[in-house]
Amino acid sequence: MDFVNDRSWCCYPDGLLPTRRAFLRTLAAAAATAGVSIPAAAEVVEVPAGDEPIPGFPLGGFPAGSVQMNFNENPLGPSKKVIAAVLEDKLQACNRYSFIDPLVDAIAGHHEMPPSNVLVGCGSTEFLQFAPWALLKDGGNIVLPVPSYGWSAGVAETMGRQVFRVPVGEVGIVDTAAMKKAIRSDTRIVYVANPNNPTGAPISRREIASLVGALPKTAVLIVDEAYHDFLPDGNAALDLVRDGASVLVLRTFSKAYGLAGLRLGYAVGPESVLDRVRTVWWGDFGINTAALIAGPAALADREHVQHYVEVIDNGLLQLRSGLKELGFQPFPHRAPFFMVDFGGPTNRLVRDLQARRIFVQPGAKWGMPTFMRISVGTGRDNATFLNAIREITA
């Protein structure tokens, strides 16, 4: 396989694979070369492509001047205080291995929890990868909504574990009642993103608690809170951890804190759950020196996060109003992204936008070929996108 020009093998930042079957074939081939046996994956589902092949993204990075509304990143960038902290340090000790204790202490203090309830990783993706390895190594299955962030489900499939996908309801609302019905005695992971990605729908404190109540004794509820700043009740899952529930809360510095390129995230959970994850966790060696400096500085600058949330809220209003005026139907939820129904396959529309250096996500990646997921950008980015849609669809 040409790993440079063939994107079918690549894990995207959205936790999806252009074709999961291609990924599994590649993994199996690599395993065979290494003399390792990979069991057949359970319930491999091909995502319908819509009107033409699902658009990818440019190799080697985006063109200069691109409008990137595809990965839900912070369009404002990191806090100036974070940049100052990293520059002041000058990475003078980067010839030495780093230690994570000061960062763990900062995160624990931020949440008023003991450091023993915190693990840090190379983005929250590290835990989306390692949690299935730890929790499913002896068997079991995973239950999750669909569409949703699919990284852990993909890992489970490569392990040969069953994946039970529960369709979301109207306007992408997670059907927690149906998810509870899908949980079995051998379920080991129940996964939700809150708010759900890509639909943006929030899951209430009551619904999160009801999922915990439906878990068998050996199962863990993973709550992926990459966008928790937009939840009506952003502490619901953390409160369950404080109560000792079998919950693993994942958070990231890639979104609101604007540090996607530094790869930093963390998991919060009871020690009994974290001890299981530690069996496969990278420990001190997963975090680079710059990230260790940036993390505490980012946590301390709440004004930057509050400004980001205000920009996103204003951008949501700008984009939704503009799309409704053009006759399109966006989902109503509060998140730094949203789905919009264009009434017909969107792959070609996505390609037309790419030709103008505007990048969004085609809904076909999630089996929603008439939809598009749009990340909220700056006011200028949003206006550029709306003008392009107006011209292309005229």
- Position 147 pLDDT exceeds 60: yes
Q: Provide the terminal-to-terminal Cα distance of the chain, rounded to the nearest Å.
A: 41
* DSSP strand pairing (247-252 vs 265-268): antiparallel
pLDDT tier at 63, thresholds 50, 70, 90: confident
Q: Do domains 67-77+303-392 and 90-300 have the same CATH topology?
A: no
Whole-angstrom CA distances from 82 to 88, 111, 301 are 10, 19, 8
- The answer to whether residue 260 scores a pLDDT higher than 50 is yes
Q: What is the per-residue pLDDT for 51?
A: 52
Residue 83 confidence (pLDDT): 96
pTM of the model: 0.86
Q: How far is CA 235 from each of CA 36, 113, 189, 206, 356, rounded to the nearest angstrom?
A: 42, 12, 21, 12, 40
Contact of 71 with 375, CB cutoff 8 Å: yes
In the chain, where the domains are located: 1-38, 67-77+303-392, 90-300
pLDDT tens-place string over residues 81-140: 999 999 998 888 888 888 999 999 999 999 999 999 999 999 999 999 999 999 999 999
Q: What angle do CA 219, 25, 151 make, to 5 degrees?
A: 35
The predicted pLDDT at position 24 comes to: 39
- What class does CATH assign to 67-77+303-392? alpha beta
Q: Does the structure show a pLDDT above 50 at 7?
A: no
Q: What is the pLDDT of residue 354?
A: 96
Q: Which of 11, 20, 39, 240 is nearest to 146 (CA)?
A: 20
Beta bridge partners of residue 329, listed in sequence order? 341
**Model pLDDT for residues 152-209, shown as the tens digit of each residue:** 999 999 999 999 999 999 999 999 999 999 999 999 999 999 999 999 999 999 999 9
Tokens encoding 210: 């009801």
Task: Please give the residue that has the higher pLDDT: either 45 or 223.
Answer: 223
Query: Is it the case that residue 249 has pLDDT exceeding 70?
Result: yes
What is residue 34's predicted lDDT score, i.e. its pLDDT? 33
Task: Give the least confident one: 50-64, 131-145, 234-248.
Answer: 50-64
Which uninterrupted H or E stretch holds 371? strand 371-375
Classify residue 40 by its DSSP letter: P
Give me the residues paired with residue 252 across strands.
265
Does 90-300 carry CATH code 3.40.640.10? yes
Alpha helices (H) along 216-346? 236-242, 271-278, 289-300, 302-325
What's the chain's length in residues? 394
Q: In this structure, what are the phi and psi dihedrals at residue 26, rounded to the nearest 5 degrees?
A: -65, -45
Side-chain half-sphere exposure of 67, counting CA atoms within 13 A: 23
- Give the residue from 224, 78, 64, 70 showing the smallest Cα distance to 144: 224
Compute CA distances 231 → 100, 135, 336, 339, 374, whole Å.
Answer: 29, 28, 11, 17, 19
The dihedral over CA atoms of 341, 343, 348, 352, expressed in degrees to the nearest 10, equals: -70
Q: What is the DSSP string of 90-131?
A: TTTTTTS----HHHHHHHHHHHT--GGGEEEESSTHHHHHHH
User: Can you tell me the distance from the alpha carbon of 243 to that of 172, in angstroms, rounded to the nearest whole number?
Assistant: 30
Per-residue pLDDT tens over the stretch 270-289:
999 999 999 999 888 889 99
